[in-house]
Amino acid sequence: MKSVNIGIIGLGVVGKGVYEAIRKNGDLISRKTGVSLAIKGVCDKDKKALAGISAGDVPVRTSSADDLIKDDDIDIIVELIGGIDPARGIIRDSLAAGKNVVTANKALLSEHWEELFRTASENRVFLNFEASVGGAIPVIRAIRESFVANRIDTMYGILNGTTNFILSMMAEKGASFEEALKIAQEKGIAEADPDLDISGKDSAHKLTLLSLLGFGARVSLEDVYTEGISAIEPQDIKNAERWGYSLKLLAIAKDRPGGLQLRVHPTLLPAAHILSDIEGTDNAVFIKGDLIGEGLLFGKGAGKEPTSSSVVGDIVDIARHLAYFCGENPCPYNMDFAQEDVKIRKVEDLEISYYLRFSVIDKPGVLAGISSVLAESEISIASVTQDERNEGETVPVIILTHLAGEGNMKKAIARIDSCDYVTAKTVAIRIEE
């Protein structure tokens, strides 16, 4: 099996998450893809962060990024420091050294995308960045690859989990902006310096990247009109609700006659709008195109594991290319999902709760008859309804059950359906909570 070597620069929350994800699911990834991921080196300025990783697991542990960039064995550099400097130099040097790069750095890409992508193209290497927008949500790949045939004219959504969490707290608990921010900081959702989030600038960084890809537009952060949420008071959210609106920090990109609209600002949305239901740190993006119509992608917008999922997805993307296209026998990954045989659970072995509609002659003793068959089959009743009463005529009896064995249920229904007071086949519908 082809093995691909990775160097991780920056062992903060996401860097640690990527390390843990590859350790935890590396075998699974190999089975799914036929490629093995090996962490050859890690780099951090903080000695304590390095000390947490054993030499047995990772051969190179260093405080100098150059040690990884200049390591000929390393195929992919994963930059997870964040911020402009020194991340900018590290990515530029890595690309120039012929390394593929994966990053989650929206601020850097938003402000220096042209320099970095040009350097990547000149050196014929990948620069992948799915984790920079929307955490676990595959929005970059969807726009760039899946929806490539579309003329995309609208992209809008909730792109910052911190501000959405703060607004949710204000809406649910009537907390002030300052109180909600403090809760977010205590939970590790907002940083000690939360300005990048609450000013709307983080959302604007992300909107720049979506616009680059979706519209093919050469845009920069300065093109995005940006307003934050610090002026919002609980009464604004209450007033909005009174008129049937929710209040969200939206990032909006529209391609309309007269030019592109790129803006980030607090926005009232109709309460029935699907984005009104996005609470806490979740993110969601609507995309409209001339072929797809309207599509929505929803998921966790931030956090260790969700962000790591996208970073490792980007790593695997490159690793597959290195494994399947750069060897002597290039081969697309058609069969790479085919794995071992698995055990299929028979539906008869499941426990499921049920909606049952019996069609019965309305006469004394019928409900008792049905109930006793169910009881004998170990099916417990959650509720019963029998609306109409027309002695001697067919009426529906509706029963909701607790969890019951599928096999028992089938047999009980067959027994009941054979009773003379049953006039039609019983309708049974499963319930998912």
* Closer of 51 and 403 to a copy of itself (Cβ): 403
> By CB under 8 A, is residue 1 in contact with a copy of itself?
no
The token duo for 258 is 């007269």
Residues 80-139 binding a copy of itself (CB under 8 A) are 100, 114, 117-118, 120-121, 124-127, 130, 136-138
Long-range Cβ contact pairs of 301-305 (< 8 A, separation 24 or more): 301/134, 301/135, 301/136, 301/137, 301/158, 301/159, 301/160, 301/161, 301/164, 302/135, 302/161, 302/162, 302/189, 303/135, 303/161, 304/13, 304/14, 304/16, 304/17, 305/17, 305/21, 305/136
CB of 235 to a copy of itself, least distance (A): 6
* Closer of 175 and 352 to a copy of itself (Cβ): 352
> By CB under 8 A, is residue 65 in contact with a copy of itself?
no
Residues 161-190 binding a copy of itself (CB under 8 A) are none
> By CB under 8 A, is residue 263 in contact with a copy of itself?
yes
Annotate each residue in 339-358 with x if it binds a copy of itself (CB under 8 A) or - if it does not, as one string. xxxxxxxxx-xx----x-x-
DSSP annotation of 158 reads E
Residues pairing with 117 in the sheet? none
**CA 408, CA 133: separation in Å to the nearest integer?**
49
* Closer of 51 and 326 to a copy of itself (Cβ): 326
CA 422 distance to own-chain centroid? 48
* Closer of 203 and 267 to a copy of itself (Cβ): 267
**CA 331, CA 324: separation in Å to the nearest integer?**
5
CB of 149 to a copy of itself, least distance (A): 4
> By CB under 8 A, is residue 421 in contact with a copy of itself?
no
The token duo for 21 is 């994800």
Tell me the window of 48-56, 85-93, 146-154, 161-169 that interacts with a copy of itself (CB under 8 A). Answer: 146-154
Tell me the window of 3-11, 67-75, 407-415, 421-429 that interacts with a copy of itself (CB under 8 A). Answer: 421-429
Work out which of 332, 364, 365, 392 binds a copy of itself, going by CB under 8 A.
332
Give phi and psi for 300, each to the nearest 5: -70, 125
Work out which of 63, 64, 239, 372 binds a copy of itself, going by CB under 8 A.
239
> By CB under 8 A, is residue 404 in contact with a copy of itself?
no
* Closer of 348 and 376 to a copy of itself (Cβ): 348
Contact 75, 314 (CB under 8 A): no
**CA 147, CA 186: separation in Å to the nearest integer?**
39
* Closer of 64 and 239 to a copy of itself (Cβ): 239
* Closer of 67 and 115 to a copy of itself (Cβ): 115
> By CB under 8 A, is residue 367 in contact with a copy of itself?
no
206 is catalytic: yes
The token duo for 145 is 């690859």
CB of 268 to a copy of itself, least distance (A): 4
Work out which of 19, 165, 177, 215 binds a copy of itself, going by CB under 8 A.
215
Residue of 16, 106, 201, 206 with catalytic role: 206
CB of 36 to a copy of itself, least distance (A): 13
Work out which of 5, 33, 162, 168 binds a copy of itself, going by CB under 8 A.
33
> By CB under 8 A, is residue 25 in contact with a copy of itself?
yes
Long-range Cβ contact pairs of 166-171 (< 8 A, separation 24 or more): 166/190, 166/198, 166/229, 167/229, 167/232, 167/237, 167/247, 167/248, 167/249, 168/279, 168/280, 170/232, 170/234, 170/237, 171/234, 171/237, 171/241, 171/246, 171/247
Residues 264-293 binding a copy of itself (CB under 8 A) are 265-270, 274, 277, 289-293
Nearest to 126 by CA among 313, 286, 372, 271: 313
Work out which of 84, 271, 326, 375 binds a copy of itself, going by CB under 8 A.
326
Nearest to 412 by CA among 426, 423, 431: 426
CA–CA distance from 404 to each of 347, 369, 410, 426, 431 (Å)? 12, 19, 10, 16, 11
Contact 404, 379 (CB under 8 A): yes
Residues labelled catalytic? 206
